[in-house]
A and B are shown apart, each in its own frame.
Chain A
Amino acid sequence: MAATITKKIIHGIYDDEVPLLEACKKLKTAGIKIKDVFTPFPIHGIDPIVGVPRTRLAICAFIYGLTGLGLATLMMWYMMVSDWPTDVGGKPNWAYYFNIPAFIPITFESTVFCAGHGMALTYLLRCMLIPGASAKNPDPRTTNDKFMIYLELNDEQAHKADAILRSAGASEVNYKGTVTEKLAY
């Protein structure tokens, strides 16, 4: 039987991003893991403190873009060279490179199309942002003007975190029940 551990859910609510950042730094120094932070707008410089890794979405966009480039080239090669070398003004397309300047605009558009849509879809799926998904913020005020640190901690750490959250100027520290986690071996 797997051993389990019960952790307290703590919502540290702030009225401004400055004390929230302060609290995050103090929690980090104290070695307390911040589960998540919910804010009404993006806060610059918070990522390394909370431990959010650099997103790889831009790399995805690059790969999608290359895919678009390849697909457009393949399509135009097939339609204009392989399947039927259209003769325009006595200049049939016997090879792709004969006419490459004319193919650049659509190659570019297709690159942008695939990169943009692919990246947007990846972003939505990666964040599980799906039509009909239930709201992911535990407190509805965090999309307006409240800033929240979300913690899941055992009793000893919770005690320590409570003091840190309040000392940094939390307007509220709410306990929202517990979660049971399996202990990892």
Chain B
Amino acid sequence: MHAESQIREPLILGKKTYSQITDDIIRPVEGKANKYWYMLFTVAVLTFIWGLGCLSYTIGVGIGVWGSNNGVDWAWDITNFVWWIGIGHAGTLISAVLLLFRQKWRLGINRSAEAMTIFAVMCAAIFVLFHTGRVWLDYMLFPLPNQFGSLWPNFNSPLLWDVFAVSTYFTISCVFWYIGLIPDFGTIRDRAINPMVKKAYNILSFGWGGSARHWSRFEEVSLVLAGLSTPLVFSVHSIVSFDFATSILPGWHTTIFPPYFVSGAVFSGFAMVLTLMLIVRKVYNLQAYITVKHVEYMNIVIIVTGSIVGVAYLTELFISWYGGVEFEQYAFLNRATGPYWWAYAAMMTCNVVSPQLFWFKKIRTSLVATFILSIVVNIGMWFERFVIIVPTLCRTFLPSTWNMYHPTFIDIGIFTGTIGMFFTFFLLFSRFFPVIAQAELKTILKVSGESQKEEAKHHAHEPAPTHAH
């Protein structure tokens, strides 16, 4: 068996056995939800319904009910799209990239992070689907045979690449998530007493049995899907950044965009995972599996990606000055000191300054501080997308087209509606699906469990056994 250094802290706290792990993780699915769940769910559903109302109003009246105008034709819609897609990236990063790097701490959080990815991409999809104006014609985004003559989408356009990238990303994420869920559904099925519940989970489990052959294939599929998802996740946000970078607008037309967007995405995604995980571990009593060490690891990723984002901001500023193009210089001056200076200031504070606080061990191991900072980071990342889009578009080449952008209550309603939708789906997920990949988590008990670590420590202090032959 793979041995792990004694210096590493255990990833499963308490003296757990295999059946205790099953109990701890499956019990919330089997039991009744507590009143906090119902309270949160009610708020989430009401917000979701409010958002649906605003979407219906947009369909009925037209896209003019949004604050977007002739100059600022992309505004909250694309800001929110990029924000949600970015949040989604952490799920794939945790489950795919950390799998390839054999990081065992991913197993406490990968399931919920993948669920988060799927729901975040769904929220993002709402904005791109509706910002076309006539959502009922959105099938024309796809290269379908049609009655309009030889009318095909333009494959030279990054906007079309985005359609392919986001839809591939969404379906692959769903597949990855579900393949991992199958063994856990099998466990719920085998424990279920109520025949209706048993039947439902039997259908979901696809008849999983856990035979050695199936596990061998399961591991291969997980590994190859991780290998495929890793370049996929980088491609998705790179392509999202191409939507801007391939244009000729000052402030958008920069080659730094793909790495800058990808690290920003991971940054905000990890922050959202932390926000959710800190609630989940408390509500479902999973402190033994999502430990302070897990939180610390995630905070370290936040320092790294946050610093990359910070360096990208400063590089942009430096290059706009050093490059000597007046239009570029004005674009950045306008961002920092123009009418939307407050958005720029919020972005700089939340994204560049706040993650640096995690250099202090006391802060990065404090759950309250982490919770607050994780929300601060996501506010900052929302402002980053706003700063890239709105101040750039409100001051383009032709001063006669300059105008301000103000969100309408429909814009705000749709955005809060997607937050409601996200939490509605996440709460339903945490109610009916196991929030931790319990089958895979059991594989690290012998290596990273607390009691096993202690046992190994005792052995290390004993004199080496002498072999008599």
Contacts and interface: CB of A to CB of B under 8 A. Distances in A.
Contact of A103 (B155, B165, B214, B215): B155
Contacts of A127: 213-214, 217
A134 B155 CA distance: 45
A60 to B, nearest CB: 9
B211 A38 contact: yes
A47 B172 contact: no
Given A57-B221, A80-B155, A113-B168, A135 B190 contact: yes
A142 B207 CA distance: 13
Interface stretch (B45-53, B72-80, B156-164, B360-368): B156-164
B189 A135 contact: yes
B226 to A, nearest CB: 10
B155 A76 contact: yes
Contacts of B215: 39, 41-43
A105 B172 contact: no
Contacts, number: 197
Contact of B239 (A61, A105, A115, A137): A105
Interface string B166-179: 00100110011001
A81 B165 CA distance: 22
A78 to B, nearest CB: 9
A34 to B, nearest CB: 9
A19 interface: no
B203 A132 contact: yes
Q: Is the interface of B mostly helix, strand, loop or mixed?
A: helix
B203 A131 contact: yes
B231 A135 contact: no
Interface stretch (B180-188, B295-303, B382-390, B425-433): B180-188
Interface string A125-153: 01111111111110011111100000000
B191 A144 contact: yes
A9 interface: no
Interface in B182-204: 182-183, 186-187, 189-191, 202-204
Contact of A46 (B179, B202, B212): B212
Contacts of B17: 145
A143 B143 contact: no
B168 A55 contact: no
A70 to B, nearest CB: 16
A119 B239 CA distance: 25
Contact of B217 (A37, A57, A110): A57
Contact of B216 (A42, A83, A103, A113): A42
B215 to A, nearest CB: 4
Interface string B15-26: 001110010000
Contact of A144 (B165, B187, B440, B443): B187
A102 B155 CA distance: 7
Given A38-B211, A52-B216, A55-B220, 7 more contacts: A40-B210, A105-B164, A106-B164, A108-B235, A109-B168, A129-B208, A136-B207
Interface of A: 36-44, 46-47, 50, 52, 55, 57-58, 61, 75-76, 79-80, 83-84, 86, 88, 99, 102-103, 105-106, 108-110, 112-113, 115-117, 119-120, 123-124, 126-137, 140-145
Interface of B: 1-2, 17-19, 22, 143, 150, 152-156, 158, 160-161, 164-165, 168, 171-172, 175-176, 179, 182-183, 186-187, 189-191, 202-221, 223-225, 228-229, 231-232, 235, 239, 242, 439-440, 442-443
